[in-house]
Amino acid sequence: MITRILGEGQYDVPETALTDLNVLDAAVQAAVDAADTVAFHARLGELLAAVRERGTPVPDDVLTVSDLVLPAPDSDLADVAALLGDEGLIPG
């Protein structure tokens, strides 16, 4: 699953990581719902770190469509709240 972190690049993340990423995504959603900026930044950082740890960077010279797009690490709560759907940032 090709996952783009805005402002950073793409990672090829194995499907086996999806369950763990969904748990982290739910924590991001909960922080947004609570309007807890401190928790939001911490949970978003954990989600992005998990993508970096579990994924393999896609070389910059490879052009491929992203299956998933995640916000930049410095995104603010209001911007991410506007991106969230019924399933959070990560469907499934």
Backbone angles phi, psi at 91, to 5 degrees: -65, 145
**Which has more pLDDT, 8 or 86?**
8
Cα distance between residue 62 and residue 45, in whole Å: 26
pLDDT of residue 10: 97
pLDDT in tens, 10-49: 999 999 999 999 999 999 999 999 999 999 999 999 999 9
Amino acid at 57: P
The number of residues in the chain equals: 92
pLDDT in tens, 77-87: 998 988 887 77
Cα distance between residue 51 and residue 19, in whole Å: 12
Specify the pTM: 0.92
**Which has more pLDDT, 82 or 50?**
50
SS3 69: strand
